[in-house]
Amino acid sequence: MTGPAPHGVPRFSGKHTVASLTDPAEHAAHIRRRHPDADLTHTAGAVLVFQSSLARETVRRDGVWPLGPWVAADLHRTTDGAVICSGFGRGAPAAALIVEQLIALGARAIITIGTAATLTDTLAAGDLVVCREALRGEGLSHHYLRPGRYIAPDSALTQTLTRHLTLLGEKPHTGRAWTTDALYRETEAEVYQYVSEGVLTADMEAAGVLAVAAYRGIPAAAAFTVADSLARRTMRTDSPRTGTGLRVLYEAATRTLAERPSA
């Protein structure tokens, strides 16, 4: 049943059951009229990179080459066949728009990597966390999926990502993530509640990315490196361990996608 909803998001209940007037296929068709080679079908998948410093480093260091202006972000292809997507905004709405465009152009898997705040004092800056489920504390996922508290990533892709982190000598943690739109409205009461549910980190994109991928039938995974803490509130610092963690996540993500079968 659909109709106006007095409370909550979206403000129209049952929205997830009906078709949208807008379609990312329109974007793909528009881009291909200008750039006939705009096709990600034969790539291994896309890695979303939110930190501009990591994106610049990988472009400078690795054997990558730019792709055209196919989405509202910067695209580079690695020698392993993965697409690195960077240079777009923060938060679930910005990430979801990019994921929709990538999938419409043929991307067959998505891995999102970035920084997060820890909710527990057992994690420190630079520690790695693989997302087991994401708490849907943002708004975007509720426009795509039926009401629910959590969304899970693709299990096979997540297992492969975890394995590659281990092969790189890491001991990643696995747990739930709390995705929120409101960076400056993360409260102590929420932290206590979510820790009791097994939530380890807070981020701004994972639930949205996973929701779009699930809606479109594409596998997706998410992983983070700790940058600051909500447990014993500490400000974000430029910890060398956080930067190292991002580089390790990038390496594991590209290896994970390279292992996927070709189209």
Tell me the per-residue pLDDT of 191-214, one tens digit each, with 9 for 90 and over: 999 999 999 999 999 999 999 999
Rounded CA-CA distance 137/246 in Å is: 24
Whether the pLDDT of residue 160 is over 70: the answer is yes
pTM reported for the whole predicted model = 0.94
Cα four-point dihedral sign 43, 77, 168, 95: negative
Q: How far is CA 111 from the centre of its chain?
A: 6
- Confidence check: pLDDT of 5 > 60: no
Residue 151: pLDDT band (50, 70, 90) is very high
pLDDT score for 262: 62
Q: Topology of 43-258 in CATH?
A: Rossmann fold (3.40.50)
Question: Do 177 and 203 touch, CB atoms closer than 8 A?
Answer: yes
**CB hemisphere CA count around 27 (13 angstroms):** 18
The label of the residue with tokens 């909803």 reads 5
For residues 116-142, average pLDDT: 97
In this prediction, residue 263 carries a pLDDT of 62
Please give the structure tokens belonging to residue 2. 């659909």
Q: What is the mean pLDDT of residues 138-146?
A: 96
Distance CA 58, CA 156 (A): 26
Q: Which two structure tokens, joined as six digits, stand for 39?
A: 């096709």
Residue 137: pLDDT over 60 = yes
Helix/strand/coil (H, E, C) string of 1-54?
Answer: CCEECCCCCCCEECHHHCCCCCCHHHHHHHHHHHCCCCCCCCCCEEEEECCHHH
* Residue 187: pLDDT over 90: yes
Where is average pLDDT lowest: 60-74, 178-192, 226-240? Answer: 226-240
- Answer yes or no: is pLDDT of 217 > 80: yes
State how far the Cα of 212 lies from the Cα of 16, in Å rounded to an integer: 12
Task: Give the mean pLDDT of the chain.
Answer: 93
